[in-house]
Amino acid sequence: MARTRLVAVFEYHGWATLRDSQDDWTTGEAADNLSKTAYDAVASAIADVRNDLQLADLRVVNGSAQLWLAGLRNHRQDDVIEVFQRIAQAAPWSYGMLHVYDDEVQGENQNRWVVWVMKRGLALPEADPYLSPHIGVVEDDLEEA
């Protein structure tokens, strides 16, 4: 039997290493392998998902541009996934993952985490085998406890 929550949850955690060039250790205008144009596009995109309930951080660490995203909302936030996809397009040699859990989703992804895998200019959904099914692997069913 499905677990009933008192509050609907849309939870996500993500990271990416940002690059718009695949040249080995090319010093870009903003960071290694990243132009200022791509950096600015990413900075602009994450502004759309930064607020009191959502974290979006962009930093240059040891020469490499790094992105972190996290949030916990009551309902699905499609803009988070759209921003991750826009970043993949703006910096096409970037790579990373965005793990998403939406307890309101129906169908094959119900009670499952989905990982949006960023590589080669795309961010596409994949099943997450490590945290799914959420009820059973991560949390116990409240009705069975």
Q: Where are the domains of the chain?
A: 10-138
Count of C-beta atoms within a 10 Å radius of residue 80:
24
Q: Residues of the chain with pLDDT > 90: what percent?
A: 63
Given a contact cutoff of 8 angstroms between Cβ atoms, the answer to whether 3 and 10 are in contact is: no
Per-residue pLDDT tens for 38-62? 999 999 999 999 999 999 999 999 9
Count of C-beta atoms within a 10 Å radius of residue 104:
12
Per-residue pLDDT tens for 84-137? 999 999 999 999 999 999 988 888 888 899 999 999 999 999 999 998 888 887
Per-residue pLDDT tens for 1-40? 454 544 568 999 999 999 998 776 556 677 888 999 999 9
Alpha helices for the chain (secondary structure H)? 36-47, 78-90
Beta bridge partners of 116: 98, 125
Q: Does domain 10-138 have CATH number 3.30.70.100?
A: yes
Question: Whole-model pTM?
Answer: 0.88
